[in-house]
Amino acid sequence: MATTTVHRTCPLCEAVCGLRITLDDDGRVTGVRGDADDPFSRGFICPKGAGLGALDGDPDRLTVPLVRKDGEWREATWQEAYAAVEEGLGRVTAEHGRGSVAVYLGNPTAHSMAGALYGSALIRALGTRNVYTASTADQMPKHVACGLMFGNPFAIPVPDLDRTSYLLMLGANPLESNGSLCTAPDFPGRLKALRKRGGRLVVVDPRRTRTAALADEHVFVRPGADAYLLAGIAHTLLAENRTAVRVPVRNLEELRTLLAPFSPEAVTDRCGVPAEVIVRLARELAAAPAAAVYARIGTCTAEFGTLAQWLVDVLNVLTGNLDRPGGAMFPKAATEAPGGRRKPYATGRWHSRVRGLPEANGEFPVATLADEIETPGEGQVRALVTVAGNPVLSAPNGPRLDRAFADLDFMVSVDPYLNETTRHAHVILPPPRVMQTGHYDFALLGFAVRNYTRYSPPALPLEPGRPSEAEIMATLTMIASGQGADADPALVDELILDQMLRRAADAPGSPVSGRDPAALRAELTGTTGAELRLDAMLRLGPYGEWSGAPERLSLRTLLEHPHGLDLGPLSPRLPEVLRTPSGEVDLAPGPIAADVERLRAALPAAPPGIVLIGRRHLRSNNSWMHNVRPLVGGSNRCTLQINPADVAQLGLGDHATIRSATGELTVPLEPTDAIMPGVVSLPHGWGHHGTPQRVAAGHPGVNANTLTDDTPLDAPSGTAVLNGVPVTLSTPREHAP
């Protein structure tokens, strides 16, 4: 049988690896390998990428829309499904107003063109403030910290992995996750290269992970206490006069005052790291020729997540490593929008109805979505739109959301699967296969450790009448804005293009200043609205054809380079990227200073008994790859890791009942001395009950978010506390001797 070979970016995680994929005559994927000609990933591939064919061809993926009436699912045409959405959303907004519709955008929207290009248009068209995403179970603390320090929540420095000589990594396990907010294909190889060139890697984690095993040093930390450890390091740098600030800053003296209570001796009991280790880490960071501090999910979804993220970059600034090669640097993405005004970054511009929680980046905490659905009154959420999300398994107190969703008047989900969340929808709109979908990493290339760009056009055409996910999103936008399901979805793109080009032509310093927007529009190429918009962003971007940059990037250039284009190592970008009113890095912004008071107040608190944390597995991806046979089984299991000393002390057998403030589960134990005593770890994304996903149903596991509490939050960002959850363990009745 004949085969076709295509080269495309893997859409499954943040590492953006290039893949070489073979397809047979029927369009089935017959083989997936790393793309050796991709200048960034250079042939790297992980088991998930290798399983892309199985995922793409999963017979349990939906191929037509489903509509649910009187508890019965029925296959529907696209016209019928859209009409049902129009009726359902129309009914709820007519009765309860636009604010009664909530929207939840899940993790894959950060990987898809549809999510990047139409997510905010849909939100605007819905005209609601009930906006929720996976970010408040993830990286929102980093956005808030960077918004306050740099004036731009998306100006997130990344470790310059390939040139650093010292990397202090906290709460990240890239040997399983392949990296996050640090786009680096072959992260494991890049870490090995760091050590090979004489650099030092220190990993801080309550578990001795595979990443920790590869490091020069592993430091155990009490869950949720990273902010204390980082404050202790910063305190030491200041106390020992080991600072070398090289960027414009304000509030250095204020910082000194804020950190005064957090000497290594003061924080050691709270974070579980010996004072002499804290002092040594500070001295090593200060002495390294180039060093970077990098912290991820384990430090974000924690009680003091925003403070930890702030302290990470405080350390990068104090050691002179912010914005210098080998330190923590700001990438320059090919689609970065030009310009941007200086203005104060603020959260809490509006507040949630029930708990009065501040918005951050225009979102409310996902931890309060159930409150907004369950609590009657003016503004109660009665309808929900979910796109690429599975909050029943991914949000804190998931079972409560499960019950709340069952009570909605209307719900529509854009998702390829009927799963734990979408089973509550009245309409499911399935996007087409990965191979039928164009791919550009608008979000992730902004966090890449080398400047790089690559576009993957669809490898296969759509079946006649089948919309792309971009068209599904554009149609939902049309419905939400009142133009109706029959309106041409391409109008959404034309409207956005018109605004973008007009703004560029009007901006005084812009490379196309004074040009006719219609003439600019006529220069654009692309076969879809998404491609036209990508073309416009590339041309206006820092390497763009219209910007007069030597790379002269446009969609055409990217199509001519199917393996991607290297745009060089990261280069210093300050003060250009700063958007603070002062034009300086703010080391002690007001909301941070206020939250430090919370940190100080909790300093003497005795650490609770046993606490729960999460973990990831290389062959898993949040909740939605457990139906791919090659990826499940073996060590990819939903077990509770526990230190053997705790097993003995609690007299446990091979299972335990684990209880928290919100729920209880019975789980198989996996004793291992790789985890600290007093800490247990359960992966999230499991608990597959009541879905027709046949492989997943065969090994359901349990929903770790039964145990995570939706009440405590990282105050400044509204992020859920998924790590460091107090629990108790006992022998299950049915397992008692």
Ligand X SMILES: Nc1nc2c(c(=O)[nH]1)N[C@H]1C(S)=C(S)[C@@H](COP(=O)(O)OP(=O)(O)OC[C@H]3O[C@@H](n4cnc5c(=O)[nH]c(N)nc54)[C@H](O)[C@@H]3O)O[C@H]1N2
- Provide the binding-site residues for ligand SF4, judged by CB under 6 A: 10, 12-13, 15-17, 45-46, 48-49, 178, 185
Minimum distance, C-beta of residue 544 to ligand X, in the bound complex (Å): 27
What span, in angstroms and rounded, lies between the C-alpha atoms of 714 and 199? 34
Residues 698-717 that bind ligand X (CB under 6 A): 704-705, 708
Q: How many residues bind ligand X (CB under 6 A)?
A: 63
Among positions 415, 471, 595, 714, the unique one binding ligand X when judged by CB under 6 A: 415
Q: Which does 431 bind (CB under 5 to 8 A by kind): ligand X, ligand SF4, Mo ion, none?
A: ligand X
**Residue type, position 302, single letter:** A
Among positions 236, 555, 723, 729, the unique one binding ligand X when judged by CB under 6 A: 723
Cβ distance to ligand SF4 smaller for residue 16 or 479 = 16
Among positions 391, 399, 489, 671, the unique one binding ligand X when judged by CB under 6 A: 391
How is 442-453 classified by DSSP, letter by letter? TTGGGGBSEEEE
What span, in angstroms and rounded, lies between the C-alpha atoms of 622 and 629? 16
Report the b/e string of 594-608 with b at 16+ CB within 10 A.
ebbeebeeeeeeebe
Cβ atoms of 346 and 324 closer than 8 Å: no
Among positions 141, 298, 446, 489, the unique one binding ligand X when judged by CB under 6 A: 298
- Does 174 help bind ligand X (rule: CB under 6 A)? yes
Minimum distance, C-beta of residue 169 to ligand X, in the bound complex (Å): 9
Cα angle, residue 470 at apex, residues 468 and 473 outer, rounded to 5°? 115
Minimum distance, C-beta of residue 469 to ligand X, in the bound complex (Å): 6
Cβ distance to ligand SF4 smaller for residue 45 or 354 = 45
Among positions 50, 117, 137, 279, the unique one binding ligand X when judged by CB under 6 A: 137
Minimum distance, C-beta of residue 419 to ligand X, in the bound complex (Å): 5
By Cβ distance, which residue is nearest to ligand X? 298
Q: Give the residues across from 102 on adjacent strands.
A: 384
Among positions 129, 296, 353, 439, the unique one binding ligand X when judged by CB under 6 A: 296
Nearest partner of 155 among 574, 581, 590, judged by Cα: 574
DSSP structural state of residue 226? H
For 340-390, strand residue ranges (E) read 383-387
Q: Which does 10 bind (CB under 5 to 8 A by kind): ligand X, Mo ion, ligand SF4, none?
A: ligand SF4
Cβ atoms of 352 and 462 closer than 8 Å: no
* Both tokens assigned to 177: 């996750």
Cβ distance to ligand SF4 smaller for residue 457 or 529 = 457
What span, in angstroms and rounded, lies between the C-alpha atoms of 240 and 232? 12
Minimum distance, C-beta of residue 98 to ligand SF4, in the bound complex (Å): 38
The helix (run of H) or strand (run of E) holding residue 189 is helix 187-196
- Does 419 help bind ligand X (rule: CB under 6 A)? yes
Among positions 138, 323, 420, 709, the unique one binding Mo ion when judged by CB under 5 A: 138
| Per-residue binding letters, 664-693, with ligand X (x by CB under 6 A) | --------------------xx--------
The helix (run of H) or strand (run of E) holding residue 491 is helix 490-506
- Does 613 help bind ligand X (rule: CB under 6 A)? yes
In SS3 terms, 628-651 reads as CHHHCECCECCCEEECHHHHHHHC
Residues 614-643 that bind Mo ion (CB under 5 A): none
* Both tokens assigned to 604: 């003497």
Cis omega (within 30 of 0) for bond into 575: yes
Q: Are strands 3-9 and 328-329 parallel, antiparallel or unpaired?
A: unpaired
User: If phi over 0 gives left and psi between -120 and 50 gives alpha, with beta otherwise, what is residue 692?
Assistant: alpha
For 308-442, strand residue ranges (E) read 328-329, 383-387, 410-414, 427-429
- Does 224 help bind ligand X (rule: CB under 6 A)? yes
Instruction: Give me the phi and psi of 352, to 5 degrees please.
Output: -75, 155
- Does 14 help bind Mo ion (rule: CB under 5 A)? no
Minimum distance, C-beta of residue 196 to Mo ion, in the bound complex (Å): 30
Minimum distance, C-beta of residue 514 to ligand X, in the bound complex (Å): 40
Q: Which does 45 bind (CB under 5 to 8 A by kind): ligand X, ligand SF4, Mo ion, none?
A: ligand SF4
Residues in touch with Mo ion (CB under 5 A): 138
Residues in touch with ligand X (CB under 6 A): 13, 106-108, 112, 134, 137-138, 170-174, 176-178, 180, 204-207, 209, 221, 223-224, 226, 296-299, 302, 387-391, 394, 414-417, 419, 431, 469, 613-618, 620-624, 684-685, 704-705, 708, 722-724
